[in-house]
Amino acid sequence: MNDDFFWLVNNRIIIPEVKSEHRFIHITDLHIHAWDELSTDEEKELAIKKENDWMSGKENFAKSSGEPFGESQKISSIEAFEKILLLAGELSPEAILLTGDNLDYMHPAGERYLKNRVEEYEKNGGRIICVPGNHESADLDGIWSSKLRAYDFKDFRIAAIDDSKKTVDEDTLIKLETLCNEGIPIIIICHIPLSTELCKSKLEYAGPYFYIDENTDDENGRKFISLIKNSKAIRAVICGHLHRYIKCELSDGKAQIIGSQGMAGAVDLITVCGE
């Protein structure tokens, strides 16, 4: 799609066991605001205010990180998502990966809009895998869940994990360890980035609010990062939250892809392949 709105970044995740190429689109931090005929005046007013606030907010994030921003990015969050769905229609990825802050806040019109668009996309043969962000509640029926969900692809799987509170629950740790013990390569999608000794220099600028540190006081957070670093089954992490694109390593050969803001046209094109 020839559209100045998009900033496309190509990423390759190499998993030797994978025999063919698998293509995904990764989007994060859409911060959707919506109102419709069912919205009250107060709901509409709040959505419009928050939308307007983000018009400058997303530009500030882009400028601070040196990422593209111009007139083409000055569109509403819903217009941005509609463009992304059109792009997905052209590229036909195996799945769209949405890694949180899909809605700027939980509001009925936003939930209705997102659920309807996801359902329509999937009825037409597409697939969307989604996790919640820190702006959202832990569950949105049929869209995301606080529980770990695993999606099998040929020769690997994607594990969708809720780390939106800068930790994970005990059930998630148990399920993730069980998946790891099965030996099938895993790519994790979550919202909050992880900071380890190998990559902390790239994340420290943002401040501790924006990542989970491997030395966090939270025991489950430490266990989560330790499992990701040390498990041979986990090969990569895909996340968001920073509103800035960063690709780094959590441990030797284990990539973390942090997407920038989808509401400003940032799209990660991800290829999973054997070489």
Give the torsion through C-alpha atoms of 228, 229, 231, 235, to 10 deg.
Answer: 70
| pLDDT band, very low/low/confident/very high, at 161 (cuts 50, 70, 90) | very high
Top CATH class, 7-273: alpha beta
pLDDT of residue 193: 98
Q: How many CB atoms lie within 10 A of CB 23?
A: 14
- Confidence tier at 275 by pLDDT (50, 70, 90): confident
Residue spans of the domains in the chain: they are 7-273
Give me the sheet containing 254-258, strands edge to edge: 149-153, 156-160, 186-189, 234-239, 254-258, 246-251
pLDDT of 28 strictly over 80: yes
Angle between helices 170-181 and 219-230 (to 10 degrees): 10
Two structure tokens written together for 101: 């802050």
pLDDT for residue 2 is more than 70:
no
Least confident of 2-11, 30-39, 158-167, 173-182: 2-11
Confidence check: pLDDT of 172 > 80: yes
Average pLDDT over residues 54-61: 96
pLDDT, one tens digit per residue, over 101-128 is: 999 999 999 999 999 999 999 999 999 9
How far is Cα of residue 220 from the mean position of the Cα atoms in its chain? 21
Assign 1 a pLDDT band (cuts: 50, 70, 90). Answer: low
Tell me the HSE value of 174 on the side-chain side, using a 13 A CA sphere. Answer: 4
pLDDT at residue 52 above 90? yes
Q: What is the pLDDT of residues 143-156, one digit of tens each?
A: 999 999 999 999 99
Tens of pLDDT, residues 78-97: 999 999 999 999 999 999 99
- Check residue 189 and report its DSSP letter: E
Residue 31, pLDDT > 90, answer yes
pLDDT at 3: 85
- Cβ atoms 7, 268 nearer than 8 A: no
Give kind and range of the element (H or E) at residue 58.
helix 41-65
Q: What is the average pLDDT score of the chain?
A: 96
